Homo-oligomer: A and B are copies of this chain.
Amino acid sequence: MTTEHFAIGVDLGGTKIELALVNRLGQILKKLKVATPAKEGVTAVIREIISATQALLQGTEAHPLGLGIGVAGQIDPAGETVRFAPNLGWHDVPLQAELQQQLELPVALLNDVRAATWGEWLFGAGKDCADLVCLFIGTGIGGSVVSGGRMLCGHSNSAGELGHLTIDLHGPLCTCGNHGCLEALAGGWAIARRAAQAVAADPRAGKELIRRAAGQGGNITAATVASAELAGDPLASQIVTEVAEALIAGAVGLVNAFNPERLILGGGVIEGLPELVPRIAQGVKQRSLKVASTKLQVLHAEQHNDAGVIGAAAFALQSVIGNEVHS
């Protein structure tokens, strides 16, 4: 029997559910991953979360103080309901009450990107920092902001949609319906779109990209571009430069608007192209206001795939036992 403070962290995505038992220092004691039965509906997914939680706890002596769950979707300001989660097909699911009732544990519900930011803030590249911006560049781009030692939520709990900063007034269409969003120029899906267009416009220049995508321009992904760039392909290298320019423009705006001490970059695109971190750091130092950039650090996220579960668990501890987790 242990007296240590534990919580369960859950990262609920459209294809998989990740769970971890995490202590108050952000250390993972045990973890588990199961498939999300998204197509079987809300009840099946909740049942799966419950049984995976029980499986996680089996054979341990830990008595978790709560469960935190990060969901890829919009969470209401009270942290009770998943308003909309496109990958799960959910609308207005009262997930907190459902889980709390069945698990007989306090449950804290939050957006998955915000959970990852909690993880980076408390235990990763944002440790001991009161002013940070996290930018996660994956298929889409999301983020979260800590300012003056507090996570910004906004009026509808949607603050931090940093992928939807307009950085190119006359730029390409975004999935959100707007034009020239950061995500529409530097998100994974946009990198794939840009590469497919470049290859279609000049198949000769795109030979290497096409080869790596098994002969089909339409198969090119951001990972294809990253691997071709690493191998020295000029077209891939040009596309990566465009992506870097877009990320610098977005990062400059974020630094000028939020004046963070640290800008933390993570997500699949950064994992595939880690060279982007120093490139963005240099561009941001050159182009943002001196007052905002003098003390700025631009850092690679530290927790990679575990930030979500660690952050969700930390958020749960924070919710249950208050600021104690911070000390």
Could you say which residues of chain B place their CB within 8 Å of the CB of A171? 169
Query: For the complex formed by this chain, how many copies does it contain in all?
Result: 2
User: How far does the alpha carbon of A176 sit from the alpha carbon of B257 in the complex, in Å?
Assistant: 14
State the Cβ distance, A156 to closest chain B Cβ, in Å.
6
Nearest B residue to A176 by beta-carbon distance? B289
Could you say which residues of chain B place their CB within 8 Å of the CB of A258? 152, 154, 159
A154-B292 contact given A162-B257, A257-B161, CB 8 Å threshold:
yes
A291 at the interface (CB under 8 A from B): yes
Main secondary structure of the interface of A (DSSP, over half): loop
A165-B259 contact given A147-B159, A148-B153, A154-B147, CB 8 Å threshold:
no
User: Would you call A291 and B158 a contact (CB within 8 A)?
Assistant: yes
Give 1 or 0 for each of A159-179: 1 = CB within 8 Å of chain B CB: 111101111111100001110
Could you say which residues of chain B place their CB within 8 Å of the CB of A170? 168, 170
User: Would you call A165 and B257 a contact (CB within 8 A)?
Assistant: yes
A interface bracket (residues with beta carbon within 8 Å of B): 35 or more
A-B CB proximity, top 8 nearest: A154-B259, A165-B253, A155-B261, A159-B259, A166-B249, A164-B256, A161-B256, A131-B155
Give 1 or 0 for each of A101-131: 1 = CB within 8 Å of chain B CB: 0000000000000000000000000000011
Which residues 177-201 of A have a CB within 8 angstroms of B?
177-178, 180, 185
Q: CB within 8 A of A289: which of B83, B152, B161, B250?
A: B161
A294 at the interface (CB under 8 A from B): yes
State the Cβ distance, A76 to closest chain B Cβ, in Å.
10
User: Would you call A249 and B292 a contact (CB within 8 A)?
Assistant: no
A319 at the interface (CB under 8 A from B): no
A303 at the interface (CB under 8 A from B): no
User: Would you call B289 and A158 a contact (CB within 8 A)?
Assistant: yes
Nearest B residue to A253 by beta-carbon distance? B165
A252 at the interface (CB under 8 A from B): yes
Could you say which residues of chain B place their CB within 8 Å of the CB of A294? 156
A276 at the interface (CB under 8 A from B): no
